[in-house]
Chain A
Amino acid sequence: MKKILAAIACAALVAACSTTPTDEGAAVESRTPGTGATGQAVPGGGVTGTPIGGGAVDPLKDPSSPLAKRSVYFDFDSDAIRAEFKPLLDAHAKYLRETAAAKTLLQGHADERGSREYNLALGQRRADAVRRYLVFAGAPESRIEAVSLGEEKPVCTEKTEECYARNRRVDILYQGEF
């Protein structure tokens, strides 16, 4: 009995892991940041993504796919898309263009310094920048929503420049993940 339970737990873990791809060690899925501020959501379903297309591996969860990378990072006080993230965004734009059922939520973030509402606006500016890039690259605007979580969901809580840099990001979530 114990073995069966362990196997179930393990399977659940693997499933959970496959929905939380990481980039530079930062948890992408906003349910597992360092603050523990998320944990169980009040409303809404679980973390598991909906497989798209039968049988085949979901490209959103395939670690070898660029679509598994879900975070774009920004310089201080900037919403400019850095060149290193353009191939990643191109891949997401192509996926959105080719997958009629796909909808994405872009969650912008800011580091913790300063006013919460102003930081919400800075995160929005970053999410809007990613939205514009995706639309420019051919993704349908109607299936993209750009929002901001401001400084409220840091992936890193130390007061260091390195940590602030990891919090200045946009996370790309697909339906079933938010």
Chain B
Amino acid sequence: MLHVLRALALALVLAAGPAAAQLSIEITGGGANQIPIAVVPFAGEGALAQPLTDVIDADLRASGRFRTLYTGPQNLNEASPIDFATWRGRNADALVVGGVYPLPNGRYEVRFRLYDVPKQVSLGGLALAMSPQQARATAHRIADFVYEKLTGDRGVFSTRIAYVVKSGPRYELQIADADGQNPQAALVSREPIISPAWSPDGNRIAYVSFENKKPVVYVHNLATGQRQAVANFKGSNSAPAWSPDGRLLAVVLSRDGGTQIFVMNADGSGVRRLMSTSAIDTEPQFSPDGQFVYFTSDRGGSPQIYRVPAAGGDAQRVTFEGTYNVSPRLSPDGRQLAFIRRDGGRFQLAVMDLATRQTQVVGEGPRDESPSFAPNGKTLIHATETNGRGFLATTSSDGRVKQRLSVPAADVREPAWGPFPPAN
């Protein structure tokens, strides 16, 4: 009977398997000052296809800010009295306990509690109702709760990432959970797709598709799958970037000659030119306060990063070191600028503190591209390459913790980290 059940379970897993090839994750670095935490298997979670605490454990470990301790089954739940001396003896600074309880109509309630072990106090907990299909999402929410209570920063375990997978002649714009699970194809094409950009509400993605033998900017509604060509002028249309309020798109058009930045309404109406130069101006990015547009320009003879008031005006140069600084991306707090720097033929991810102008190279190169900040600003994702194969790498903004995300036998590129999910 057990064999039959296993076979059934396997068949179900296969049937429910994602249509798109899974991203696999490998952690390649470790942070300093990691918090040692014990995530005790939740009472009753064996009823689920995958234990919640496996997902919580993996999330916390992958963030680089926690060291997770193996506890084995403990016969504890969120209501159990805690023997703090024992957990101190195991060097745990934090402890998570909980239980999974069946509700009528196939749903479950998950209750958990987080403890500060040295202080011997509860830091709170939650009760969450879920369907079995929501188990991973529930685990990510619990990991977000733990991460925020213990680090003071909002967690990004419930966010999503967009990226492009190229396998042979096939291009797919995929959306996956931040841990690489649950990938879904938003667009499949025989022609290239580049420069995906999330709308601030996370409901739409703008991107450039070459399906008409030239670059055209589309806005794609993720819930309905409906999409609209919002910039399809004579010449090339590319590099879409949303304003922080989601009402405007900066785009790059060649319709009036050259490669120049324009601003328009998100539906494609009201197109106006931001600057007039005879140089290449491209890769616009709004600052988080909406006041400036950062961009790449070769107006000084080599590609460098500049910024201009979003309403138009005089541009100021931002990068000065080196002869190739491109792909500006602002951190969510507006204090840091991530970009790609070429140094001796190597293209590497760098981060500049905008107040002090100090720059730190955090990527390993030699072909780093397309940086994108996580919405809490603590991690960056970017594209890179080894042995001719593209993959994605995440790195903490101090460069210490690194992970790589790859798809077997395919190129992965053009990552964009989505916003926080709406509060509920």
Whether B324 lies near A122 (C-beta < 8 A) is no
Q: Which residues, 209 to 234 on B, are CB-close (under 8 Å) to A?
A: 210-215, 234
Which residue of the partner chain, among B210, B213, B257, B282, contacts A117 with CB atoms under 8 Å?
B282
Known: A116-B195, A117-B282. A42 touches B236 (CB 8 A): no
Q: Are B326 and A114 interface neighbours, CB within 8 A?
A: yes
Which of chain A's residues has its CB closest to B193's CB? A152
0/1 per residue, B245-284, Cβ < 8 Å to A?
Answer: 0000000101001110000000000000000000010110
Once the chains bind, are A116 and B296 in contact (CB under 8 Å)?
no
Contacts of A116 in B (CB 8 A): 194-195, 369-370, 414
Provide the residues of chain A in CB contact with B236, threshold 8 Å. 120, 124, 147-148
Q: Closest approach, in angstroms, between the C-beta of A90 and any C-beta of chain B?
A: 22
Chain A residues whose C-beta falls within 8 Å of the C-beta of B194 in the assembled complex: 116-117, 120, 150, 152
| A80 on interface, CB distance cutoff 8 Å | no
Is A167 close to B, CB under 8 A? Answer: no
Give A164 Cβ to nearest chain B Cβ, in Å: 12
**Interface contact B388-A124, CB-CB below 8 Å:** no
* B23-31, B42-50, B64-72, B184-192 - the one binding chain A: B184-192
Residues 21-62 of chain A, each 1 if its beta carbon lies under 8 Å from chain B, else 0: 000000000100001111111111000000000000000000
Q: How far is the CA of A122 from the CA of B311 in the complex (A)?
A: 27
A117→B327 CA distance, assembly (Å): 8
Q: Judging by beta carbons under 8 Å apart, are B214 and A147 in contact?
A: yes
B296 touches A118 (CB 8 A): yes
Task: Indicate which residue in A40, A114, A121, A145 contacts B259 across the interface (CB closer than 8 Å).
Answer: A121
A145 to B215, CA, bound (A): 12
Bound state CA distance, A36 and B170, in angstroms? 9
B188 to chain A, nearest CB (A): 9
Find chain B residues with CB under 8 A from A170 CB. Answer: none
CA distance A147 to B215 in the complex (A): 8
Q: Are A114 and B252 in contact (CB-based, < 8 A)?
A: no
Question: Are B303 and A118 within 8 A (Cβ)?
Answer: yes
**Count of A-B contacts judged by CB separation below 8 Å:** 121
In the assembled complex, the Cα of A44 lies from the Cα of B189 at a distance in Å of: 13
Residue of B nearest to A43 (CB): B211
CA separation between A145 and B168, bound complex, in Å? Answer: 29
A120 to B280, CA, bound (A): 10
User: Cβ of A121 and Cβ of B280 under 8 Å apart?
Assistant: yes
Tell me, in angstroms, the Cα distance from A124 to B235 when the chains sit together.
Answer: 8
> Are B190 and A115 in contact (CB-based, < 8 A)?
no
Within 8 A of B (CB), among A66-120: 105, 107, 113-118, 120
Chain A residues in 8 Å Cβ range of B388: 157, 159
User: In the complex, A10→B87 CA distance in Å?
Assistant: 77
Considering the complex, give the chain A residue whose CB is closest to the CB of B367.
A113
Q: Mark A116-134, 1 if CB is under 8 A from B, else 0.
A: 1110111011001000000
Report if A118-B213 is in contact (Cβ < 8 Å); known contacts: A37-B192, A159-B388: no
A172 to chain B, nearest CB (A): 13
| A150 proximity list for chain B (CB < 8 A) | 194, 215
With the chains together, A160 CA to B132 CA distance in Å?
Answer: 52
- Smallest CB separation, B197 vs chain A (Å): 11
Interface size bracket, A side: 35 or more
Rounded to whole angstroms, the CA-CA distance of A59 and B196 in the bound complex is 41
Query: Cβ of B283: which chain A residues have Cβ within 8 Å of it?
Result: 115, 117-118
The B-contacting residues of A in range 124-178, CB under 8 angstroms, are 124-125, 128, 145-150, 152-153, 157, 159, 173, 178
- The smallest beta-carbon distance between A53 and chain B, in angstroms, is 25
| A39–B327 touching, CB < 8 Å | no
Pick the contact of B190: A41, A145, A159 (CB < 8 A).
A41
Q: Is the CB of B252 within 8 A of A38?
A: no
Bound complex: CA of A38 vs CA of B213, how far in Å?
Answer: 10
- In the complex, what residue of chain B is closest to A122 when comparing beta carbons? B280
Q: Would you call B212 and A43 a contact (CB within 8 A)?
A: yes
Which chain B positions have C-beta within 8 A of A118? 280, 282-283, 296, 303, 326-327
Report the Cα distance A148→B194, complex, angstroms: 13
Contact B195–A38 (Cβ < 8 Å): no
Contact status of A145 and B195, CB under 8 A, knowing A113-B347, A115-B283, A122-B280: no
Q: Which residues of A contact B280 (CB under 8 A)?
A: 118, 121-122, 125
Q: Which residue of A lies closest to B414 (CB)?
A: A116
Chain A residues near B141: list those with CB within 8 A. Answer: none
Q: Given A121-B280, A145-B235 in contact, is the A40-B190 Cβ separation under 8 Å? A: yes
The answer to whether B192 and A153 touch across the interface, beta carbons within 8 angstroms, is yes
A116 to B: closest C-beta gap in Å: 5
Nearest 7 interchain pairs by C-beta: A147-B214, A152-B192, A121-B259, A39-B169, A115-B326, A121-B280, A178-B213
Q: A37-B166, A37-B191 are in contact. List 6 more A-B contacts (CB 8 A).
A: A36-B168, A38-B169, A107-B214, A124-B254, A128-B257, A152-B192
12 contacts between A and B (CB under 8 A): A30-B213, A37-B169, A37-B171, A41-B190, A114-B340, A116-B194, A117-B252, A117-B296, A118-B280, A120-B215, A120-B238, A147-B235
Q: CB within 8 Å of A: which residues of B? A: 166, 168-169, 171, 189-192, 194-195, 210-215, 234-236, 238-239, 252, 254, 257-259, 280, 282-283, 296, 303, 324, 326-327, 340, 342, 347, 369-370, 388, 414
